[in-house]
């Protein structure tokens, strides 16, 4: 039996009220949107969030069993460099895997999930990891600045301990121009709201669902949950009524808490549904973007073994308000900030060095002494344990999935950073090993010695001269 064997998600810690945005920009939209939206920190992008969701998904899983990895996004940091390859390296997956990027439509997340299921069916025993993530940005004062939120979802597909099986699907493909972005565009462009709402969402989603129901001889009331995205809260409810679904069947799209997360949006709602699903539940998942993908899954008894995830609910409970629109604007490059002479002296990692040390830098892999069991980072040849000192007895040891304690820390007001002061600290890992890391998702006043921390894959710098995004692992306070 092929299906989903695990799930995970990621919602950034920071949230900004849409009222804060409106007050700062005099929003030009047709009406104020309610609630808040999730905001990626200055060192986060679609790639780092995809890694975070994948880490949540792979909790307790042998990563050596992953055979393929698909990355779905409309906001990849690179036009020509495979994001899935960077993610695979960050996750310390074996190199003999197939990787692929899915892009250019907000329904590419569900398309990647369908491709993963097809691939697993074609080769029994294969495990395929899918991560969908987006960090979209509209112009200041525009509709999309209000509506777009940041987040990611991840699924592992295979044939062991399946928690939900795909029972059927139905897809539509239309060259419908609502949102678009060319090679030279920084921000999304869009046509008018009425066009998008009336000719897009309200037509394509019912058509996709009706097509699936007819194809598989089903009724809308056969489903415990019905999932579909829609930027317009009233239209979202109207679509459900048009389909004949009861209000309790319609999955909350968390638009007022997170926002529209693009390619990850329907999959994040799917994660939220799985968190509360019972064995035997049928779940209908529909995406939107140049058409629709409609899929229906049936939940198995194994769902009870997959509850230990942060998923959506625990990420939503862990939040900090970003009360300053100006700081938000700096994080999103809407404001150019002078970081001084030090900020101009970017010293990027040499590409050749990064290749040789990719498991150390991107995978956060050190070494562990086979003689005495002492872990060390970065990797060493000689054991640092004074009572051992073994030479050449090291095996690879991954630190990225280990938690630890903050031994000491400091704030640096002179170092260039979009969120001063820069904070560094020494982390002592559970099980041994310690190293100095940048700290993020925190302020200096909130830190304390011996507080629990965990590792998070983040962007270290952007070398605009060479067009290179540098990534590394940073320490963050635990979010549980």
Cβ count within 10 A of residue 69? 27
The predicted structure's pLDDT at residue 74 = 97
The domain limits of the chain are 3-331, 340-364+399-477
Contacts of 366 (CB under 8 A, 6+ apart): 360, 375, 376, 377, 378, 379, 380, 396, 397, 399, 433
Rounded CA gap, 462 and 171, in Å? Answer: 38
CB 153 within 8 A of CB 264: yes
Query: 10-residue block means of pLDDT along the chain (480 residues)?
Result: 96 96 76 88 97 97 96 96 98 97 97 98 95 94 91 96 97 94 88 92 97 97 97 92 95 95 98 97 98 98 92 96 94 80 65 92 97 96 95 96 97 90 97 97 96 97 82 94
- CA trace torsion 107, 362, 317, 323 (10° rounding): -90
Q: What order of strands is seen across the sheet that includes strand 282-286?
A: 98-102, 68-72, 128-134, 151-158, 3-10, 164-173, 291-299, 282-286, 225-227
DSSP structure class, residue 49: H
**Which pLDDT belongs to residue 103?**
97
Cross-strand partners of 179: 190
Question: What is the CATH code of the structural domain delimited by 3-331?
Answer: 3.40.47.10
pTM over 0.75: yes
Half-sphere exposure of 410 (CA within 13 A, CB side): 6
C-alpha closest to that of 206 among 230, 180, 182, 176: 230
What is the predicted pLDDT for the residue at 27? 65
How long, in residues, is the chain? Answer: 480
Identify the three-state secondary structure at position 317. Answer: helix
Regarding beta strands 68-72 and 128-134, do their DSSP bridges make them parallel or antiparallel, or are they unpaired? parallel
Segment holding 53, helix H or strand E? helix 46-57
């Amino acid at each position: 039996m092929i299906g989903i064997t695990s799930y995970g998600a990621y919602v950034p810690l920071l949230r900004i009220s849409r009222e804060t945005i409106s007050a700062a920009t005099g929003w030009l939209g047709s009406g104020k949107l309610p609630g808040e939206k999730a905001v990626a920190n200055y060192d986060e992008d679609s790639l780092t969030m995809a890694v975070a969701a994948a880490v949540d998904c792979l909790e307790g899983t042998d990563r050596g069993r992953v055979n393929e990895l698909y990355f779905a996004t409309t906001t990849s940091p690179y036009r020509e460099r495979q994001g899935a390859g960077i993610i695979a390296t960050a996750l310390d997956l074996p190199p003999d895997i197939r990787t692929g990027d899915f892009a250019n439509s907000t329904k590419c997340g569900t398309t990647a999930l369908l491709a993963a299921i097809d691939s697993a069916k074609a080769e029994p025993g294969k495990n395929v990891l899918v991560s969908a993530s987006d960090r979209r940005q509209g112009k200041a004062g525009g509709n999309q600045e209000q509506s777009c939120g940041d987040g990611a979802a991840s699924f592992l597909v295979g044939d062991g301990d399946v928690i939900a099986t795909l029972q059927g699907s139905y897809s539509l493909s239309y060259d419908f121009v609502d949102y678009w972005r060319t090679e030279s565009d920084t921000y999304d462009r869009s046509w008018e709201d009425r066009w998008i709402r009336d000719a897009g969402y309200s037509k394509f989603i019912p058509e996709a669902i009706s097509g699936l129901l007819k194809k598989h001889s089903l009724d809308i009331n056969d489903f415990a949950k019905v999932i579909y995205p829609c930027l317009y809260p009233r239209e979202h409810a109207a679509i459900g009524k048009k389909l004949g679904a009861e209000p309790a069947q319609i999955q909350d799209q968390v638009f007022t808490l997170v926002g529209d997360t693009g390619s990850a949006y329907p999959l994040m709602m799917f994660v939220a549904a799985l968190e509360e699903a019972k064995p035997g539940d049928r779940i209908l998942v529909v995406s939107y973007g140049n058409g629709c993908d409609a899929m229906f899954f049936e939940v198995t008894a194994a769902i009870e073994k997959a509850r230990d995830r942060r998923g959506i609910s625990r990420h939503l409970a862990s939040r900090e308000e970003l009360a300053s629109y100006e700081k938000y604007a700096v994080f999103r490059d809407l404001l150019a900030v002078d970081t001084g002479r030090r900020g101009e002296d970017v010293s990027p990692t040499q590409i050749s060095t990064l290749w040789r040390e990719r498991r150390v830098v991107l995978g956060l892999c050190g070494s562990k002494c086979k003689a005495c069991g002492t872990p060390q980072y970065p990797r060493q040849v000689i054991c640092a344990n004074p009572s051992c000192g073994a030479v050449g007895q090291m095996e690879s040891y991954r630190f990225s999935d280990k938690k630890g304690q903050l031994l000491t820390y400091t704030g640096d007001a002179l170092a260039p950073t979009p969120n001063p002061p820069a904070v560094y600290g020494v982390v002592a890992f559970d099980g041994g090993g310690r190293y100095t890391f940048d700290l993020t998702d925190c302020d200096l006043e909130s830190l304390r010695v011996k507080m629990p921390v965990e590792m998070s894959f983040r962007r270290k710098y952007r070398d605009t001269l060479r067009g290179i995004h540098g990534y590394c692992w940073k320490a963050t306070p635990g979010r549980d």
